[in-house]
């Protein structure tokens, strides 16, 4: 569990300390350029924010699958 928390901590640090990230498709980028600097930054932040939830869901499902598989392997090895 400590290893998992270390990895999670590093990922969070990379997320917050990363340089300006362009998360827009070409159509969104063109629209954002027409809106101005502040709205473009807001749009970019919103796209990144919305992108996090699917990754969090997939990560949670993967973690539960890994934990269940690990528990199953321990039960199987102790039964031999």
- pLDDT at residue number 20: 58
For the cut 80, the answer to whether the pLDDT of residue 63 exceeds it is yes
φ, ψ for residue 67 (rounded to 5)?
Answer: -65, -45
Domain region containing 50: 19-78
Mean pLDDT over all residues of the chain?
81
Contacts of 79 (CB under 8 A, 6+ apart): none
Strands (E), 18-63: none
Mean pLDDT within 27-55? 83
- The verdict on residue 12 lying in a domain is no
Per-residue pLDDT of 65-76, as tens digits, reads 999 888 878 877
- The verdict on residue 7 lying in a domain is no
**8 Å CB contact between 24 and 43:** yes
pTM above 0.85, yes or no: no
Contacts of 54 (CB under 8 A, 6+ apart): none
Q: How many domains does the chain have?
A: 1
For the cut 80, the answer to whether the pLDDT of residue 56 exceeds it is yes
- pLDDT at residue number 75: 78
Angle between helices 26-35 and 37-78 (to 10 degrees): 140
């Amino acid at each position: 569990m400590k290893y998992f928390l270390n990895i999670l901590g590093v990922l969070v640090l990379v997320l917050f300390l990363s340089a300006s990230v362009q998360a827009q498709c070409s159509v969104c980028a063109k629209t954002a350029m027409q809106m101005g600097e502040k709205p473009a930054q807001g749009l970019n932040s919103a796209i990144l924010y919305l992108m996090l939830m699917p990754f969090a869901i997939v990560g949670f499902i993967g973690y539960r699958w890994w934990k269940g598989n690990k528990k199953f392997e321990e039960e199987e090895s102790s039964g031999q």
